[in-house]
Structure 1
Amino acid sequence: MGDTLTLPVPEALYGTYAVAFADPPADPREEARQRVTRRIAPPLRDLVLGMLASPMLTLDLRPAGEFPPLPTDLLALYGASPVDLAAVTGATHVLAVRAAYRPGWPPAHEWAARAVAFAVAEGAPVIDVFTPQILTPDRLADSLPGPDGEIRLTDWMLLPHTAGPQGFWFTTKGLARFGLPELQTEHVPPALVEPWGRLLNGLARRVLDLWLDELPAGEQIPLMIDLPELVSVGLQDVAAAQGVTEPMRREVTVRLRLDAVGGEQVLTVLTAEDGPTRLETLCAALFGTPGVR
């Protein structure tokens, strides 16, 4: 087995948000420009206004019936309130906010599309089409990058898990925003759902950092990037995914395997060493608590 994984780099990445209006603006682009100017602080404001002035960000306002129906069943599954679902189903118009940008940092396609949707919504439901989730105004505002350009990865990623006969199956939903395959783990014992979820959040942040370190700042994007099979994830990575700091430097190592699931590439998270209790051992080593409680 080799010591690296070779991943393709997408030529472009796309962010898409839908705003469900009962009373749509007459000129969405002008409304967006004015409200972004008033409501978004620099330096994010400058990035968003630059995207708005370019063909990389589009605003498509139509009667709701001219778009495919929004996935209300999935929106409910991911926490939409009955009030928000009623507003979505009762909307007369939908504004699709779409942005495209090169892989790398900043993820301008996501930041600009989300900021524009937040600015123009004025109380109308905003749907993150990628997830899909309805984002409340507070969640939208809190998820946008601050003056230092930092974000909480957990604001841009979900970690759904499903019970099976041999344990829980985890998969991230959010790393693809940045051009990466999602992470997955199978057969997680029920007692490890909480600590393994925290570990995966930290691992996602660590893998994203490794990915971004390999992407050049210039316009020339490589066709492929090599990432290590063995990756260390520490308490500092877990904290960084939540937007906080952690002074302790305790770490563990996991192995990544590149697989194909349903035609999509995924990174399967495995223990670095074989053994029937390795997940429990990893969680105990990282968090300092027994793996099974």
Structure 2
Amino acid sequence: MPVPETLYATYAVALTAPIPDPGELAHDEIAARTRPPLRDLALGMLGSPMVTLDQRPAAEFPPLPADLLAAYGASPAALAALDAASHILAVRAAYRPGHPPAHEWAARAIAGAVAAARTAPVIDVFTPQILAHDHLTRSLPGPDGAVRLTDWMLLPHTSGPHGFWFTTKGLARFGLPELQTENVPPALVVPWGRLLNGLARRVLDLWQDRLRTGEQPLVVDLPETVSVGLGDIAAAQGTDEPLRREVTVRLRLDRPGEPGTTGEPGSSGSSDSSGSSGEAVLTVLPADDGPDRLESLCAALFGAQDGHR
């Protein structure tokens, strides 16, 4: 898969009044609220061209999609607060793919610090999602750099004539295609969602491991078959799992318009972290052909009872 040259993150802070000097406020709040090493990373990027703070009257920005914000958990009160905002501060950051994802960590930390100082809502423009203050704070990396992937990724699913269609929304932040699965039986919605969370964690680890060494490559080869286990599911949620049970799935790189793709709305990821449609996706398939393979995978991973609910 091609490696993007640069990834971008954008967060919006909805303000009831303009901030006289957003850069100064961001610097002071990050210094006061954020622990190292994230504090040092955010302050270093804040003082460089990698981070921009763009404050304008709200009417000068494109309107935020209220329907999607509501679908992803925004309350009526939160949406009303957005409508009441007179100004928007757009926090944008850019960085190369790899670990750490400094563009996301810095932009989210800066937006969260400014929003806390002004008691203002923060919108993750990628998702899009309104981030509650406690959620935003919890999602930031601790001193060891660990994060819960589930704080940075959503897993929406929609019903269709042959089952549910799943797609991740968050892997594109890191330069990866999103994962998708078609025709998931209704009884497997919960276990298959758990499996996809763990698989996303495993694929992200493989991706970042291949970007850690030396000069950034132009392309990265990921294996066609990937193991995913209970440990990966726990890691995606920031917990531990003593059982080492794993199953194997197959990944197929699809692009809209190619054979094997569905063309359903939203069935694409974005390698430039913009969340736009029309990019490649990784379709998740059983490693072996045969009937009831999704059921067999879930039963093998979670046990016969938990794998069918």
Q: 1-side partners of 2:242 and 2:236: how far apart?
A: 14
- Higher share of residues assigned strand: 1
Which runs of structure 2 are paired with 1:12-23 in the superposition (5 Å)?
A: 12-23=6-17
Q: In the TM superposition, what is the alpha-carbon distance from 1:217 to its structure 2 partner? A: 4.4
Is residue 128 from structure 1 mapped to residue 144 from structure 2 by the alignment? no
Which runs of structure 2 are paired with 1:28-39 in the superposition (5 Å)?
A: 28-39=22-33
**CA offsets, 1:25-55, max 9 Å, x none?**
2100100000000000001000000000100
| 1:269 maps to which of 268, 272, 284 | 284
Q: 1-side partners of 2:254 and 2:138: how far apart?
A: 34
Is residue 227 from structure 1 mapped to residue 218 from structure 2 by the alignment? no
- Return structure 1 stretches of 4+ with deviation > 6 angstroms: none
Q: 1-side partners of 2:304 and 2:31: how far apart?
A: 48
Q: In the TM superposition, what is the alpha-carbon distance from 1:230 to its structure 2 partner? A: 0.4
Is residue 181 from structure 1 mapped to residue 177 from structure 2 by the alignment? yes
Q: Tell me which residue corresponds to 2:308.
A: 292
Q: 2-side partners of 1:214 and 1:127: how far apart?
A: 31
Q: Tell me which residue corresponds to 1:260.
A: 255
Is residue 242 from structure 1 mapped to residue 237 from structure 2 by the alignment? yes
Contact 1:192 1:292 in 2 (8 A): yes
Q: 2-side partners of 1:292 and 1:139: how far apart?
A: 30
Contact 2:298 2:308 in 1 (8 A): no
Q: 2-side partners of 1:89 and 1:150: how far apart?
A: 35
Which runs of structure 2 are paired with 1:1-293 in the superposition (5 Å)?
A: 7-122=1-116, 123-218=119-214, 220-261=215-256, 263-290=278-305, 291-293=307-309
**CA offsets, 1:225-257, max 9 Å, x none?**
000000000000000000001111000000000
Q: In the TM superposition, what is the alpha-carbon distance from 1:224 to its structure 2 partner? A: 0.4
Contact 1:15 1:98 in 2 (8 A): yes
Q: In the TM superposition, what is the alpha-carbon distance from 1:289 to its structure 2 partner? A: 2.8
Q: Which moved more, 1:64-73 or 1:183-192?
A: 64-73
Query: Secondary structure at the residue paired with 2:212?
Result: coil
RMSD (Å) for aligned C-alpha atoms = 0.9
Letter matched to residue 253 of structure 2: L
Give the TM-score normalised by the residue count of structure 2: 0.91
Q: 1-side partners of 2:160 and 2:240: how far apart?
A: 34
Q: In the TM superposition, what is the alpha-carbon distance from 1:274 to its structure 2 partner? A: 1.1
How much identity, in percent, do the aligned residues show?
74
Q: 2-side partners of 1:155 and 1:106: how far apart?
A: 16
Q: 2-side partners of 1:124 and 1:210: how far apart?
A: 37
Gaps of 5+ in 2: 257-276
Q: 2-side partners of 1:17 and 1:289: how far apart?
A: 42
Q: Tell me how many residue pairs correspond in the alignment.
A: 286
Letter matched to residue 266 of structure 1: V
Contact 1:104 1:217 in 2 (8 A): no
